[in-house]
């Protein structure tokens, strides 16, 4: 049977700098990675592929994309709800619970009854 502690120590020795990172930071990194995966999975596989393609094409500069590609990139990014993602990450990393309005954004007023039934 394997000694779990020895196995973990061996794995940590093979990854440079891992021993110097405190466990709480590793947990925070893991939680942010899980949130990232949740938001990234809001796109289907074709959309994820296209998003990565646009990001690679742009190389971090919006001038490398056409106007149509920029609009497509913005639409794909909006579908992942970046405001909610930022709020959830801040909430995970905060030592105290954050107010809902900070995490989820301001409450939007409900549409008047006439507009809801008109559509």
Say what percent of the chain tops pLDDT 90. 1
Compare 57 and 20 and report the one with higher pLDDT: 57
Alpha carbons 39 and 81: distance in angstroms, whole number: 7
Q: What is the pLDDT of residue 23?
A: 74
pLDDT tens column, 55-86: 888 887 878 888 998 898 889 888 888 888 88
Alpha carbons 102 and 83: distance in angstroms, whole number: 10
Domain ranges of the chain: 46-95
pLDDT tens column, 23-34: 777 788 888 888
């Amino acid at each position: 049977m394997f000694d779990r502690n020895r196995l973990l120590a061996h794995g940590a020795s093979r990854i440079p700098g891992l021993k110097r990172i405190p466990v709480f930071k590793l947990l925070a990194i893991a939680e942010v990675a899980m949130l990232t995966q949740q938001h990234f999975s809001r796109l289907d596989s074709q959309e994820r592929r296209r998003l990565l393609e646009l990001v690679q094409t742009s190389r971090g500069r919006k001038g490398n994309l056409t106007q149509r590609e920029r609009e497509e990139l913005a639409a794909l990014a909006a579908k992942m709800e970046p405001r909610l993602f930022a709020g959830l990450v801040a909430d995970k990393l905060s030592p105290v619970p954050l107010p809902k309005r900070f995490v989820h954004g301001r409450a939007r007023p409900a549409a008047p009854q006439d507009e809801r039934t008109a559509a």
